[in-house]
Amino acid sequence: MCVKLVIVGGVAGGATAAARARRVSEDAEIIMFERGEYISFANCGLPYYIGNVIEKREDLLLATSEEFKQRYNIDVRIFSEVVGINAKEKAVEIKNTTTGKMYWENYDKLILSPGAEPIKPPLEGIELDNIFHLRNVPDSDRIKKIVDERNPRCAVAVGGGFIGLEMAENLTERGVKTTIVEMLDQVMPPLDYEMASLLHEHLEAKNVELELENGVKSFSKAGNRILVSTQKGRDIECDMVLLSVGIRPENKLAKQADLKIGPTGGIAVDDTMRSSDPNIYAVGDAVEVRDLVTGFPTLTALAGPANKQARIAADNALGRKSIFTGTLGSSVVKVFDMVAASTGANEKFLKKHDIPYLVSYTHSGSHAGYYPGATQTSIKILFSPGTGKLLGAQIVGKKGVDKRIDVLATAIRAEMTVYDLQELELAYAPPYSSAKDPVNISGFVAANILKGDMEITHWSELDTLQKNDAILIDLRTKLELKYAGKMPDALHIPIDELRARLSELDKQKTYIPFCAVGFRGYLGHRILVQNGFKSRNLSGGFMTYTMANKGE
């Protein structure tokens, strides 16, 4: 039987579903509707096109409608917006956005890939010229035209997520002084605060101004410029504004078709990507899927999951059985010379939902220290207190961040524990890693915590512990204290002197040994507890403490 498959929307979801459907069936009739001109483009590359990193506009266009028709024998209809669904009659209503003509098209199976729409808060002046969203190629054309032709001196990015950071970088590289206004106390919400603080420091070093814990109140004209008024009373004059305050699933069509909408606002689908209507599937930014770590419903606006969902939806629409098991939300972002990445659950989410977890921080070299060019890689992992099962990971550094977050994402999907991280045999040569890779190191430290070889405390607990008479012992050298800074009220005993000076300590007290990144703190802890002292090592050492207390 020849199936008529209609697909609403292109790009990562719709175009992938269409191509997969043709590979599965040469006989299927496949029609794809796209309300714009571009059915397949690299939307993740748009900030880099504006920044001239990607020089040729055509490099963003993965396939034109004509190329797609030719290769896949698919009826591609651009400038065609699906405005309604009659699920009972199995038909969609289409509006030709060029001519205004309306017509209906029937289907046997329907795949929805409408994506997500940028949130446009109802702020005074938001309709002024030179206030932009960045969602598609025409958006990037408009922004790039302003930057190319008008040479703006400064810009405001409202929101410190992926788009806000990437645009801040690319505008800055083009000589546009950029301020990020963010309502949260940090950029990059997938990261926990202390990890994001590394980005704060780097952004400021690159001349990007951060206006954190502050929102926009209104926009107004200031001559030929825009005045951005914040909720805390600051006014920022600029030449252009980029709105990147978030997105929400485009569920209008789904609601109109009476499809079930999940608690997150996304279209509810099962593990075959089928909606509450057995003939309608949905994929991409518009759908609610299962979080692989917690099992909770979640939205994941990422190209990787959208591609996988599209393949699965196409398979099932054409009679094959394929399953989407869930998402980890694995992501990575370049911020000037730094890279930040995350996978799985973060601490904020685990704490909010009362899910038991432990945390470990490690700071390792990106490759062997004796080989030139090594940089520091900061890793935070979250794991189950009992089994050591890995729940989430975050990494911030300059080199090798992407490959290590991919290892940890694979480990989470494989339900590995921190003990398994110790055993991973990862490629090593001095220019690329160390004999004990940073991923191995994170496993060693976490396993030591679980085995009881190391009792730890975290930066967030220090005030309480010190109020209860715990004593900090700084194990670093005098030179480190001079150049890297000191911890308030810490007793200074270099690690190599600790054994000889144990008589100076009180066994009735609790001691918190620490060093730069944690290793000497661990050594000090083992010396103390094996000599009858009460000790808790500061996880991540002075580095993590400093990260968490930046700006205070």
For residues 294 and 291, what is the distance between their CA atoms, to the nearest angstrom? 6
Whether residue 409 is predicted with pLDDT greater than 90 in this model: the reply is yes
Phi-psi group of 142: left, alpha or beta (phi > 0 → left; psi -120 to 50 → alpha; rest → beta): alpha
Whether residue 511 is predicted with pLDDT greater than 70 in this model: the reply is yes
Identify residue 391 by its one-letter amino acid code: L
Query: Mean pLDDT, to the nearest integer, of 274-293?
Result: 96
Task: Identify any residues that bridge with 32 across adjacent strands, giving them in sequence order.
Answer: 7, 76
What was the pLDDT predicted at 428?
96
Residue 213 has what DSSP assignment? S
- Would you state the torsion angle of the CA atoms of residues 81, 87, 88, 89, taken in this order, to the nearest 10 degrees? 30
If pLDDT is split at 50, 70 and 90, which confidence band does 317 have?
very high
End-to-end CA separation in angstroms for the chain: 68
pLDDT digits (tens, 9 = 90+) for 212-254: 999 999 999 999 999 999 999 999 999 999 999 988 999 999 9
Whether residue 551 is predicted with pLDDT greater than 60 in this model: the reply is no
Residue 532 has what DSSP assignment? T
What was the pLDDT predicted at 298?
94
145's CB contacts (< 8 A; 6+ apart) are: none
What was the pLDDT predicted at 282?
97
In this structure, what are the phi and psi dihedrals at residue 7, rounded to the nearest 5 degrees?
Answer: -120, 130
What was the pLDDT predicted at 187?
97
For residues 491 and 471, what is the distance between their CA atoms, to the nearest angstrom? 7
383-420 core/surface letters (b: 16 or more CB in 10 A; e: else)? bbeeebbbbbbbbbbbbbbebbbebbbebbbeebbbbb
To the nearest whole percent, how much of the chain has pLDDT over 70? 99
What was the pLDDT predicted at 315?
97
Whether residue 488 is predicted with pLDDT greater than 70 in this model: the reply is yes
**516: its two tokens:** 């730069």
To the nearest whole percent, how much of the chain has pLDDT over 90? 87
What was the pLDDT predicted at 390?
98
If pLDDT is split at 50, 70 and 90, which confidence band does 1 have?
low
What was the pLDDT predicted at 552?
53
What was the pLDDT predicted at 549?
85
Q: Which of 44, 154, 238, 515 is catalytic?
A: 44
pLDDT digits (tens, 9 = 90+) for 13-26: 999 999 999 999 99
For residues 168 and 381, what is the distance between their CA atoms, to the nearest angstrom? 28
393's CB contacts (< 8 A; 6+ apart) are: 342, 343, 344, 379, 380, 381, 382, 405, 408, 409, 412, 442
Residue whose C-alpha is closest to residue 161's, from 117, 199, 114: 199
If pLDDT is split at 50, 70 and 90, which confidence band does 539 have?
very high
User: Does 44 qualify as catalytic in the annotation?
Assistant: yes
Mean pLDDT, the chain, integer? 94
What was the pLDDT predicted at 38?
85
Placement of tokens 């930057």 in the chain: 147
What was the pLDDT predicted at 421?
98
pLDDT digits (tens, 9 = 90+) for 413-453: 999 999 999 999 999 999 999 999 999 999 999 999 999 99
pLDDT digits (tens, 9 = 90+) for 256-271: 999 999 999 999 999 9
Residue 115 has what DSSP assignment? -
**206: its two tokens:** 């690159």
Q: Are 433 and 400 in contact (CB under 8 A)?
A: yes
What was the pLDDT predicted at 68?
87
pLDDT digits (tens, 9 = 90+) for 97-109: 999 999 999 999 9
CB burial class (10 A; 0-12, 13-18, 19+) of residue 377? buried
Q: Where are the beta strands (DSSP E) in 89-215?
A: 91-96, 102-106, 109-112, 116-118, 131-132, 154-158, 177-182, 209-212
Name the pairing type of β-strands 267-268 and 102-106.
unpaired
If pLDDT is split at 50, 70 and 90, which confidence band does 11 have?
confident
What was the pLDDT predicted at 395?
98
What was the pLDDT predicted at 134?
92
Radius of gyration of the chain (CA): 27
**320: its two tokens:** 């094959």
What 3-state class would DSSP assign to 185?
Answer: coil
Residue whose C-alpha is closest to residue 446's, from 476, 427, 473, 422: 422
460-487 core/surface letters (b: 16 or more CB in 10 A; e: else)? eebeebeeeebbbbbbbbeebbeeeeeb
Q: What is the pTM of this model?
A: 0.94
Q: What is the DSSP string of 255-323?
A: HHTT--B-TTSSEE--TTSB-SSTTEEE-GGGEEEEBTTT--EE----HHHHHHHHHHHHHHHTT----
